[in-house]
Amino acid sequence: MTQAAVSYQVKVLEERVGASLFERHARGVGLTPVGEKFYHRVSASLDILADAFDNAQGAGSKKLSISVIPTFATNFLAQRLAGFQSANPEIVLRLELSEALMDFSTGDCDVAVRGGRGKWDGLQSELLMPTRFTPMLAPSLLETVGGLKRPEDLMKLPILSRGDPWWVNWFSLAGSEQEFSPTTPPQTFGPQVIEAGAAIAGQGVAMLTPAFFQNELNSGVLVQPFDLLGDDGSGYWLVYPESRRNALKIKRFRNWLTRETAEFRAE
């Protein structure tokens, strides 16, 4: 369409709505408050229509794009995706690793896995597993202090990402009489999978989520010296636009991932 044709359609639309949808200024246009509300409702309706056409044509289940935080992707999802693919061979999976919440209105993404409290405007969120964490370290590092009997003994060792609030949370739950005040430099490793790599190399003690490191614990490259698990009230969630909750490919992935994580919710 030409620019004039677009302008005419905008004018017709605003006349039909009975209110201005756009604010016009020197650098372009923006949505008015009425336009914002109209945009979100109409976009949701168009998503539903698009899903209906895709499913009717058999095209809706061709590709499923998933945005996932790195550690969940590498240490949990990647180890199980073969099961989903086997049950749904017609679905082509595309994974994108990201720490940021996906903007579903502009990005080419169907679902995402994120950490947090589960409240995101305009998004449906379903709890996969609570966020639980505990110190872990390499056996070789543990031997240097002759083992750990009390939480306070951890302070004898280098602490990785000491600024992580999980450390204070865990020590508080442990009822430690000693304040958490390690002398380790305040380095930050980012995703848990990177911090775990440093711990496996014997560089220090990491605060990690056991659900993501079962293989490392079973093989003995990491040791969990205490049974106590911290819990800050957050969790890992499957999120997607509310308007797309009935999309067939999203339903299949949601049902499969809910089953795969059921044991962690039960704990």
Q: Are residues 191 and 137 in the same domain?
A: yes
Average pLDDT (58-70) is: 80
The whole-angstrom separation of Cα 201 and Cα 217 is 14
| pLDDT value for 162 | 85
Cβ neighbours for 232, distance < 8 A, ≥ 6 positions apart: 131, 165, 166, 169
Give the residue among 42, 51, 110, 92 at the shortest CA–CA distance from 246.
51
- Whether the pLDDT of residue 59 is over 70: the answer is no
- Whether the pLDDT of residue 47 is over 90: the answer is no
Higher-scoring residue by pLDDT: 62, 44: 62
pTM: 0.74
| pLDDT value for 58 | 60
Highest average pLDDT, of 2-16, 88-102, 157-171, 206-220, comes from: 206-220
The number of folded domains in the chain is 3
- Whether the pLDDT of residue 50 is over 90: the answer is no
Partners of 235 in the beta sheet?
116, 130
| pLDDT value for 200 | 97
Look up the domain containing 157 and give its range: 132-232
Q: Are residues 241 and 225 in the same domain?
A: no
Q: Residue 54 — pLDDT band, cuts 50, 70, 90?
A: low
Q: Are residues 119 and 145 in the same domain?
A: no
Q: Are residues 210 and 157 in the same domain?
A: yes
**Which DSSP state fits 73?**
I
Residue 121, classified by CB atoms within 10 Å of its CB into exposed (0-12), middle (13-18) or buried (19+), is: exposed
Q: Are residues 243 and 126 in the same domain?
A: yes
Q: Are residues 140 and 226 in the same domain?
A: yes
| pLDDT value for 27 | 77
| pLDDT value for 2 | 87
pLDDT (tens digit, 9 = 90+) per residue, 213-230?
999 999 999 999 999 999
| pLDDT value for 55 | 66
Q: Residue 197 sits in a domain of what CATH number? A: 3.40.190.10
| pLDDT value for 245 | 81
Q: Are residues 70 and 157 in the same domain?
A: no
Highest average pLDDT, of 44-58, 94-108, 154-168, comes from: 154-168
| pLDDT value for 234 | 94
Q: Are residues 225 and 145 in the same domain?
A: yes
Q: Are residues 228 and 141 in the same domain?
A: yes
Average confidence score pLDDT of the chain: 88
β-strands 22-25, 28-31 pairing: antiparallel
Cβ neighbours for 48, distance < 8 A, ≥ 6 positions apart: 243, 244, 246
Q: Are residues 24 and 104 in the same domain?
A: no
| pLDDT value for 49 | 79
Q: Residue 50 sits in a domain of what CATH number? A: 1.10.10.10
Q: Are residues 153 and 29 in the same domain?
A: no
Q: Are residues 200 and 122 in the same domain?
A: no
